[in-house]
Copies of this chain bind each other. A is one copy, B any other.
Amino acid sequence: MYEKLLREAGLKITAPRLKILAVLHHPQKRHWGAESIHQVLQEQGEEVGVATVYRVLTQFEMCGIVQKHFFENDVSVFELSSQEHHDHLVCVECGKVEEFIDEVIEQHQTKIAARFKFKMLDHRLVMYGVCEACLK
């Protein structure tokens, strides 16, 4: 129920926000560019302006509903936040994104931050490669 999510974030419940959440919640695709969300909504005949999509995504990011990534391509992509931290594997051929969690790497990062006396806030590990399907 998206209403609850919005209410808890202190955001009003509006049609555009619900529609955008529905797109982000797509079962097969977790990572979305703002532009593609807008496109999908248009194809569904929904009337949501690009500006609204960007504004809503920014708000969502600020209240932690989504996370924003810059996968070395100059388009930002968003994904619904999940409780546990995870990293990404991006296929440079087809753009597919896989997620994974590795505790050993997580812990090592903490050590490194300590070594540099950094107060770590966040971290991103992205591996670029060619996925099994594209290798053929």
Q: Interface on A for B, CB 8 Å cutoff?
A: 68-74, 76, 89, 91-92, 98, 100, 102, 104-105, 108-109, 112-113, 115-132, 135
Closest 9 A/B residue pairs (Cβ): A118-B129, A123-B127, A117-B132, A120-B129, A70-B70, A119-B130, A125-B125, A122-B128, A121-B129
Residue of B nearest to A91 (CB): B118
Alpha-carbon distance between A119 and B130 when the two chains are bound, in angstroms:
5
- What's the number of copies of this chain in the assembled complex? 2
Alpha-carbon distance between A109 and B88 when the two chains are bound, in angstroms:
11
Alpha-carbon distance between A72 and B77 when the two chains are bound, in angstroms:
11
User: B105 contacts A117, CB within 8 Å?
Assistant: no
Residue of B nearest to A118 (CB): B129
User: B113 contacts A89, CB within 8 Å?
Assistant: yes
Looking at the assembled complex, report how far the CB atom of A92 sits from the nearest CB atom of chain B, in whole angstroms. 6
